[in-house]
Amino acid sequence: MIWLIFLLVILVTGSPDINTPPHDPPSSDLPITDLTFVRKWAAIGDSYTAGIGAGDVWSDKKEDTKCSRYDKSYVALLKHVLGPQVTNFTYTACSGARTSDIYTQAQDLDKLHDLIVLTGGGNDLCLSDIITTCIFLPFNSEEKCQKVIELAQENIKFILGYNVRRILEVAVSKVNAFGIIVWALYGQFFNTETDDCEKNQDWAFPGLAPFDALPLTRERREKLNQLVTDTNKVIKKTIEDYVMDKGKYFPRVHIRTADWNDFMKDGLKGQYCVPGSTGKYPDPMQPNLHFFKPDTTYERHTELKAKRDNITDTSFSSSADTNDTLSSFYDSILYRSPNPAAAALYELNPTGVTLPPGCPGDDKGIGFGLPDRWGKYFHPNELGHKTIASFVLDGIYAARADFLGKRNPICSRGFEEFRCWQNDGRRDYASADLLNKNYKTYCKEVKPPKNTANWKDERWFHQLTPETHSFSIQLSDGATHFDQGHCMESFERIINSCDGNDPKNPMNWKFGGRWTRGSYTYEVNIANSFKRPWPPTREVGGFCDSSYKFWYQRYDMRGRGWATWDAGQDTLKPAIISCVGHGLTGWDFQYLDQPDSDGNEWVLHLEAKYLTLSEMQSIIRALKRIRFLRAKPHQLSRSLSTTTSIPQYEPVDEEFSPGYDPKHYYPAKPGEVLADHYRLLVKIGWGSGSTVWLARDVARHAERIVALKILNNNNPKGADHERRIEEHIAKQTPSHRGRPVIRSYLENFELAGPIGKHICLAYEPSREPLWLYQRRFESDRFTLPMVKAYILIILADLKLDNILITFENENILPRFVKEQEEAQSMQCKTDSETGRVIYRCHNNFGPLDPSGLGNIYPQITDFGAATLLGTGGDDGAVQLGTRPIQPDYYRAPEVILGCGWSYSADIWNLGVMIWNILEGTELFTQVQDAEGTYLPEAHLAQMIALLGPPPKKLLVMSESMAQVEWSPAITDERGKIFKNNREYFGGPFFDEEGNFFYNDLIPARKLEDAVPSLEASDKEAFLSFIKQMLTWLPEERKTARQLMEHPFLND
């Protein structure tokens, strides 16, 4: 029996109602710095967002005092910037809040916010224990300090990512379709350049003589900094995973991180222990310190030790209205106790019970329960909040720029700054002669807008060549005027003052730079479209070879350091024609994606009559001397969209894929013609194994548009398998009632890539993935009738990315294609290793046409992981599959346990996928660690929480089949070989009695709590339906036909 298509359910043929979002799409006429779109916003999170200690308490309300919210926090600064149009502002951030508390804060928000800002995660790391044990009250041994640091690292690895994701899932449901979420990250506390902080300062709180405190060594500071780095990394990674899971684009625009750490520590030297700092606070030698701290000078601590000898009052005061001295703390039992360690630990943890590892960040210590004048230590001060506010605001602008399709402006600068990009480590370079010619052209042709302040102008030269570069002007601080002389003077200095007099650069290659002159910033940026030799070429060079072909000769030339900007049209070709006249009969010039072994950058194949090899070599010698002749920008064909550069540090599309390796992707480019008839238009999709492009059939039917899926070549067997699956489906009965919901396959062909062939599959185009369609509805969720309508096909790799929807009318696709063909630019970047150009996907076909919604229905695509199950035995029973299938979040228990799987695995897959459609979130959330590695034990733990323990029958089957050998063995993306299920997934996970080995991973969840969007009556019917799919035993799951009869789908 062939197992491909398991279930087709078409229940609703009418048009579903769509709740029109209350917010119109952003107007592209607005500048991205216009913040009037923010009318409803919220600030949630921990003490970094509460702003503990920065300024005065936010208000005299009890909650503001209890949570230590202050009026000079970054939130207060944003409130001032956002202006009076805000009608609804919620501020529930609270000092000491762990991510579980922030999750509740997010849940308590109402919907349709324009903006949510937050911080969170630090208190999940036992931060107060670290500060107490390792810094402020270091009575304990080095071992105790190391232990609490290790605990923090464990919490980062196993707890933080899950908690952050839970917050994201709730927060996304609280913003409108064009809302923005900015998650501010943390800053590293310590400079580690010298030992001054260890030798010349005393960080014990507030001084322990004659007790020996742990010195704040460079090694300890590095470990504490690493915690911050790892915390930020997990938060970023979790957001990136959310990008992958929830749709490849909306989180890139929707959710931003504000990473202010590098600017604070490298630009402003705002950390503790900076060389030259005195230990005082405020420190006259360190005006840019970004954190609150106590006085750590030895003199202060000696004075306080003397006070302790005369203490008689045993009271301990924690009122917030006392003056900012340490007297009440020193007058307490802590400082008069003969055993300060025991007293301090009691005061910091008054229950007298050790905080268990299962309760990370339970901040009953520094920063919680103590007065804010102490709790503010190791938190941003007023200057720190200004920096955070700046980066949060930049995140808002960046997201807004994406919405409006505009560039994010650089920060206004009212000072002089001259920078050379080579000093910053950039490796793209261009010819000085070419730059010196083009900047004059640019300045003469700039057309400044009338009556416009702070405008920006940018122009790219010689795109799609090794010499690609741009010139740009950015005005700020209200400037409007353009001065051509000022422009030329500025670019001349950037080009000719940078990178000169370097014996390692005898050809005087230029790397560009920036000159900020008050309100005017001039930039020269080099962004080679093809990878150039490194170190830079020191002399022009190349070679030529020839062969005799009847009445003409064929010449093969290669070169480096010349003819790198014009495809040979203004350098090579005129020189050759001058020698051979009209004897030139063939010309094929190409730039190499990366230099060859000799450093050559281009290759030319030509055919000519009566041209000797010595004549060709004479031409080469002449060209080496002149290098550039009659420089003229190379004009691109209209069919080839020009490009705008994406920064190298910004990941694009397939670069997000696990195990991404650029050399296995086909280097497709707009305008390229494949198989002699398909001209590529625009990239509309990508994945870990392919890219998808719209293409026009220019040779056979000019009006025909197709979607071309170009498969990677690192898995030839898998690519051929997918092709055979598509061919098999295409041969099936066209009248089958399920055929309309299968994407129409047209044909396939092969392409020759740089390192092997690629299979290309052609399809009828579809509108967009189901996850993007889902974003068009209120709260990013389908209505319940739509959920019932869109429960359709199951296959081994089913997920929302693999379900597309049809176009609602025949005008949508032609209109989109026309826009792409007329577009003036396409965003792209060049891979630094292979030289492959990566174009940004554009798969938003515009707003829905309400009049055609009845024509929309889902279609299934991507059969790369579909499986053919054969039959065996006299009874024709279906053979069981044993190899791993399904995406991590959708994997059925029998697949993990190695029990063998069949059709019923698809039913489980459908049951899990329904959560994406109904709730906009995953049912099983924490199945990967911070590095994206699948955790089968965590996945099983969540199954146990929702379904109860597995039956003994399943575990017996698992034990009997787990080590069945696979033939051939499986090799993962890291090159590791697995011979059976036990090696692949690990295990065993249960003992002989059926007891789970990882009970500590089982969360406190119930299936009933996982559908908060449904009313009680609908929830009961839905849970009855879903429990017939999500069962431990595969044979207990209902079949597709049985599920179609369930009342939930027929109500």
Q: What angle do CA 502, 503, 504 make, to 5 degrees?
A: 90
Instruction: State residue 198 phi and psi, 5-degree precision.
Output: -75, -40
Question: How many contiguous H segments (helices) and E segments (strands) does the chain have?
Answer: 33, 30
| Cα–Cα distance, 1043 to 265 (Å, whole number) | 59
Rounded CA-CA distance 326/827 in Å is: 57
Selection from 560, 681, 688, 675 nearest residue 624 by Cα: 560
- One DSSP character per residue, 781-834 reads ---HHHHHHT-----TT--GGGEEE--SSTTHHHHHHHHHHH-S-EEEEE-TTT
Say how far apart CA 800 and CA 245 lie, in whole Å.
Answer: 9
Contacts of 1050 (CB under 8 A, 6+ apart): none
Tell whether the torsion through CA atoms of 898, 903, 908 and 909 is positive or negative.
positive
End-to-end distance of the chain based on CA atoms, in angstroms?
33
Residue given tokens 């202050």 in the structure block:
70
Cβ 146 vs Cβ 221: under 8 Å: no
HSE at residue 877, side-chain half, CA atoms within 13 A, is: 8
CA distances (Å), origin 1019, targets 11, 578, 580, 918, 1015:
20, 83, 83, 11, 6
Q: Which residues contact 506 (CB under 8 A, 6 or more apart)?
A: 538, 539
172 three-class SS: helix
Residue 248 assigned as binding residue: no
State how beta strands 602-608 and 643-645 pair: unpaired
Cα–Cα distance for residue pair 918/307, rounded to 1 Å: 65
Partnered with residue 697 across adjacent β-strands are: 678
Q: How far apart are CA 784 and CA 802, in angstroms?
A: 21
Going by the DSSP 8-state scheme, the letter that residue 430 receives in this structure is B
Closest C-alpha among 271, 303, 344, 127 to residue 202: 303
Provide the token pair at 52.
């503990």
Cis peptide before 535, with omega less than 30 degrees from 0?
yes
Q: What is the DSSP string of 756-771?
A: EEEEEEEE---SEEHH
Rounded Cα distance, 461 and 465, in Å: 9
Strand runs labelled E in 550-601: 552-560, 584-591
Q: Please provide the DSSP assignment of 239-251 as one string.
A: HHHHHHHH-SSHH
CB 829 within 8 A of CB 645: yes
Please, are residues 684 and 843 in contact by the beta-carbon 8 Å criterion?
yes
Q: Which two tokens stand for residue 181?
A: 């979420």
Q: How far apart are CA 263 and CA 283, in angstroms?
A: 20
Strand partners, 749: 760
Q: How far is residue 723 from each of residues 224, 726, 865, measured CA to CA in Å?
A: 52, 5, 11
* Parallel/antiparallel/unpaired status of strands 113-119 and 40-45: parallel
Cα–Cα dist 42/504, whole Å: 55
Radius of gyration of the chain (CA): 33
Binding residues: 709
Binding residues for ATP: 709
